[in-house]
């Protein structure tokens, strides 16, 4: 093997790894936030979780990518270890799809069989992909073109490696090196080390397939330990990904290592003992890329069947290996966004949306608590409002910082709109919690100064409070479900609240003139109305942003002007309905 063959081998490996990386990246981008939603919905049972692991890994073409996602979900507190373990097992089966595709490089024959060889179709796929990337104006089509280019590079890299190592077939030195692999332990170690270096079991198996196809020197007994070692080596990516994470994420990575290591050792021992007893005739048979794919698939299926009933045992072992420390009750839940997802913008945005949903729920709760203080002042509730407002502030900083980092990544137009919505929303939800503190201060002033509103003012406030809580319910639900129809119901309620506040101010002035209430009561009353108006304004902002996701041409001020037009029968009908629902009592 000359220096030129070595250079060709390295070049082929570079093409192979880049092609796999490009294809995986674009597939993940196309899948977007749907991956996160799928993970949440389909981990209710072990069988569903295994199928989920198979499908997702087949889609993104990388078990390492799937496992890194699982580490991120566990680190964010969005997935339990018991949910992650079956998905890991399924991902091992899903990644075998790649090796079956790679086995096409070893096809031999004439006629139509030649059409299946990478040297025939890969250049055509590459050309189509390049044309799509260069001519298309749509991000989705560009991503599909990227997948095509990545796939073509993957297959051409495989063929290049295969051609580069073909002279080894006649090399006595290489034949001598192969004697090392007759020792199963050395085979596992070499397979694990090579895979750990390239951080991809598919890549290392592709290299083995290239060697097997070109040199025709690997027997079944030599290939099996290497393949088992490759399955152990692929765990390095998840282990590295878990550095700096919380204990649940580390347990996911450790579980991944245990599943592959225990399975590899057990199956190798069973095979070696059985071979000693029955002397398998196929042990010395030379393997091809197809045979390697078959061994790889068989191992992962058998390993999953063997380990699936032991999920509970694996989980307990993970807790034994990664123990809770004395400060295990510290709030790890504060780490709610994981930077691993920045490489998968769709998933990252979905994570941000989930965390913003929590923020929205807390903001709504602060308002509900502050309104309760007017009915019956409670110092514990007041302290809770302050604590929750501080939590909302931390959420705003956390999500905002994360979204700014995400904005620097390659995003589709739709993802850019979702990021913009989230950035606006976190500001509005944070301001809502600020107004809750202001309302709390008003309630505290009334309690401390032993002030009391008139019976008429109390009845009016009951109506206004009901309208405010309803608009908040609508807003939080519309945001969490991204429901445009629900969002369109918010503006009529906001308009009713504005009119209620205006009428209540007029009534307050009349009570002042009739000396039913005092100036001091009036200041508190007016401040509270102002804060309630501001809260409803922020609800309106959020609603318009949700609507803009569907209709990108909407301009906020023009939209509000048009929607409140007397010609808008739908708005007028909803406004009339809410006006009757929140009718102020007669004076």
Tens of pLDDT, residues 248-259: 888 999 999 999
Per-residue model confidence as pLDDT tens digits over 209-249: 888 888 888 889 999 999 999 899 988 888 887 877 778 88
Confidence class for position 327, pLDDT limits 50, 70, 90: very low
Last residue of a domain, one of 287, 321, 355: 321
Is the CB of residue 65 less than 8 Å from the CB of residue 347? Answer: no
Mean pLDDT of 302-321: 93
| First-to-last C-alpha distance (Å) of the chain | 100
334 in a structural domain: no
Of 49-58, 193-202, 224-233, where does mean pLDDT reach its minimum? 193-202
Q: Across the strands, what pairs with 13?
A: none
Reply yes or no on whether the pLDDT at 105 is more than 70. no
Is the CB of residue 490 less than 8 Å from the CB of residue 474? Answer: yes
Per-residue model confidence as pLDDT tens digits over 115-174: 556 667 778 888 999 999 888 877 778 888 988 888 888 778 877 876 777 776 566 665
Task: For residue 125, give both structure tokens.
Answer: 């796929």
Mean pLDDT across the chain, nearest whole number? 83
Mean pLDDT of 471-496: 93
In this prediction, residue 116 carries a pLDDT of: 57
Is the CB of residue 377 less than 8 Å from the CB of residue 444? Answer: yes
Confidence class for position 317, pLDDT limits 50, 70, 90: very high
Per-residue model confidence as pLDDT tens digits over 383-439: 999 999 999 999 999 999 999 998 888 777 778 888 988 999 999 999 999 999 999
Place of tokens 């598919």: 202
Last residue of a domain, one of 321, 350, 382: 321
CB-based contacts of 507, cutoff 8 Å, min separation 6: 456, 457, 460, 584, 587
| DSSP letter string, 12-80 | HHHHHHHHHHHHHHHHHHHHTTHHHHHHHHS-SSHHHHHHHHHHHHHHHT-HHHHHHHHHHHHHTTSS-
Residues 213 and 140 in one domain: yes
In this prediction, residue 334 carries a pLDDT of: 45
Per-residue model confidence as pLDDT tens digits over 426-479: 999 999 999 999 999 999 998 888 888 888 888 999 999 999 999 999 999 999
Nearest to 476 by CA among 567, 413, 392: 392
333 in a structural domain: no
Reply yes or no on whether the pLDDT at 2 is more than 80. no
124 in a structural domain: yes
112 in a structural domain: yes
551 in a structural domain: yes
Q: Determine the Cα–Cα distance for residues 553 and 559; give it in Å rounded to an integer.
A: 10
Place of tokens 């057990």: 266
Task: For residue 66, give both structure tokens.
Answer: 């799937």
Instruction: Give percent of the chain above pLDDT 70.
Output: 87
Place of tokens 């009334």: 446
Residues 158 and 271 in one domain: yes
Residues 394 and 299 in one domain: no
Reply yes or no on whether the pLDDT at 177 is more than 70. no
Residues 306 and 400 in one domain: no
Is the CB of residue 228 less than 8 Å from the CB of residue 194? Answer: no
Per-residue model confidence as pLDDT tens digits over 521-576: 888 889 999 999 999 999 999 999 888 877 766 777 777 777 877 778 888 899 99
Residues 140 and 211 in one domain: yes
Q: Determine the Cα–Cα distance for residues 130 and 297; give it in Å rounded to an integer.
A: 33
Q: Where are the beta strands (DSSP E) in 220-262?
A: none
Residues 192 and 151 in one domain: yes
Residue range of the domain that includes 167: 3-321
In this prediction, residue 563 carries a pLDDT of: 80
More confident residue, 405 or 98: 405
Last residue of a domain, one of 321, 351, 385: 321
274 in a structural domain: yes
| Half-sphere CA count of 165, side-chain side, radius 13 A | 24
In this prediction, residue 392 carries a pLDDT of: 93
Confidence class for position 295, pLDDT limits 50, 70, 90: very high
In this prediction, residue 34 carries a pLDDT of: 60
Q: What is the CATH number of the domain that holds 505?
A: 1.20.58.220
Nearest to 204 by CA among 195, 215, 193: 195
Nearest to 104 by CA among 31, 26, 156: 156
Residues 453 and 502 in one domain: yes
Residues 391 and 425 in one domain: yes
In this prediction, residue 332 carries a pLDDT of: 41
Reply yes or no on whether the pLDDT at 297 is more than 70. yes
- What are phi and psi for residue 219, nearest 5 degrees? -90, 170
- For residue 509, CA distances in Å to 75, 107, 532 come to 56, 90, 18
Instruction: Give percent of the chain above pLDDT 90.
Output: 36
Q: Determine the Cα–Cα distance for residues 258 and 81; give it in Å rounded to an integer.
A: 13
406 in a structural domain: yes
Residues 279 and 403 in one domain: no
- Count the domains in the chain: 2
* CB atoms inside a 10 Å sphere around CB 570: 11
Q: Across the strands, what pairs with 286?
A: 219
pTM of the full structure: 0.66
Of 170-179, 271-280, 340-349, 489-498, where does mean pLDDT reach its minimum? 170-179
The per-residue b/e assignment along 99-136, b for 16 or more CB within 10 angstroms, e otherwise, is bebbbbbbbeeeeeeeeebbeebbeebbeebeebbeee
331 in a structural domain: no
Residues 278 and 216 in one domain: yes
Mean pLDDT of 24-44: 64
Residues 304 and 355 in one domain: no
Residues 317 and 346 in one domain: no
3-state secondary structure (DSSP) of residue 440: helix
Q: Residue 482 carries which DSSP code?
A: T
Task: For residue 313, give both structure tokens.
Answer: 């045992």
Q: Across the strands, what pairs with 509?
A: none
């Amino acid at each position: 093997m000359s220096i030129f063959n070595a250079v060709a081998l390295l070049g082929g490996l570079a093409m192979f790894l880049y092609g796999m990386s490009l294809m995986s990246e674009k597939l993940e981008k196309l899948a977007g936030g749907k991956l996160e939603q799928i993970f949440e919905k389909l981990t209710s049972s072990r069988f569903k979780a295994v199928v989920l692991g198979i499908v997702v890994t087949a889609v993104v073409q990388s078990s390492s990518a799937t496992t890194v996602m699982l580490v991120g979900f566990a680190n964010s507190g969005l997935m339990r270890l018991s949910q992650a373990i079956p998905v890991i097992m399924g991902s091992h089966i899903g990644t075998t799809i790649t090796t079956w595709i790679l086995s096409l490089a070893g096809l031999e024959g004439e006629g139509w069989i030649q059409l299946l060889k990478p040297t025939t179709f890969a250049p055509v796929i590459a050309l189509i992909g390049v044309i799509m990337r260069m001519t298309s104006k749509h991000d989705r089509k560009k991503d599909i073109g990227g997948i095509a280019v990545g796939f073509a590079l993957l297959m051409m890299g495989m063929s290049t490696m295969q051609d580069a190592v073909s002279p080894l077939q006649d090399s006595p030195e290489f034949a001598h090196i192969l004697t090392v692999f007759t020792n199963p332990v050395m085979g596992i170690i070499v397979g694990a080390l090579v895979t750990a270096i390239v951080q991809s079991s598919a890549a290392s198996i592709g290299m083995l397939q290239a060697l097997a196809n070109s040199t025709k020197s690997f027997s079944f007994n030599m290939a099996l330990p290497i393949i088992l070692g490759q399955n152990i080596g692929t765990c390095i990516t998840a282990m590295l990904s878990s550095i700096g994470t919380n204990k649940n994420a580390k347990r996911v990575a450790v579980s991944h290592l245990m599943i592959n290591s225990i399975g590899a050792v057990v199956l190798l021992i069973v095979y070696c003992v059985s071979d000693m007893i029955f002397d398998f005739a196929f042990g010395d048979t030379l393997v091809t890329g197809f045979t390697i794919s078959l061994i790889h698939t068989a191992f992962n299926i058998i390993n999953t069947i063997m380990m699936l009933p032991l999920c509970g045992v694996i989980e307990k072992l993970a807790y034994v290996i990664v123990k809770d420390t004395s400060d295990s009750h510290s709030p790890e839940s504060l780490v709610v966004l994981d930077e691993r997802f920045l490489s998968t913008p769709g998933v990252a945005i979905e994570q941000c949306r989930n965390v913003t949903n929590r923020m929205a729920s807390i903001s709504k709760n602060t308002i509900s608590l502050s309104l309760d203080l007017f009915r019956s002042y409670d110092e514990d509730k007041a302290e809770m409002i302050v604590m929750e407002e501080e939590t909302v502030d931390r959420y705003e900083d956390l999500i905002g910082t994360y979204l700014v980092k995400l904005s620097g990544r390659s995003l589709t137009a739709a993802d850019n709109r979702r990021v913009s919505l989230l950035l606006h929303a976190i500001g509005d939800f944070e301001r809502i919690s600020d107004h809750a503190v202001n309302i709390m201060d008003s309630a505290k002033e009334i309690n401390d100064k032993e002030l009391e509103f008139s019976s008429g003012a109390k009845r009016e406030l009951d109506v206004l409070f009901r309208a405010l809580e309803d608009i908040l319910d609508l807003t939080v639900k519309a945001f969490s479900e991204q429901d445009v129809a629900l969002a369109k119901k918010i503006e009529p309620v906001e308009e009713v609240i504005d009119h209620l506040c205006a009428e209540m101010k007029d009534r307050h002035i009349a009570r002042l003139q009739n000396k039913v209430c005092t100036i001091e009561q009036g200041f508190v009353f007016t401040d509270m109305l102002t804060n309630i108006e501001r809260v409803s304004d922020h609800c309106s902002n959020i609603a318009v942003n949700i609507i803009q996701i569907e209709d990108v041409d909407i301009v906020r001020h023009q939209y509000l002007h048009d929607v409140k037009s007397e010609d808008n029968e739908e708005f007028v009908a909803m406004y009339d309905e809410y006006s009757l629902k929140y009718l102020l009592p007669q004076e």
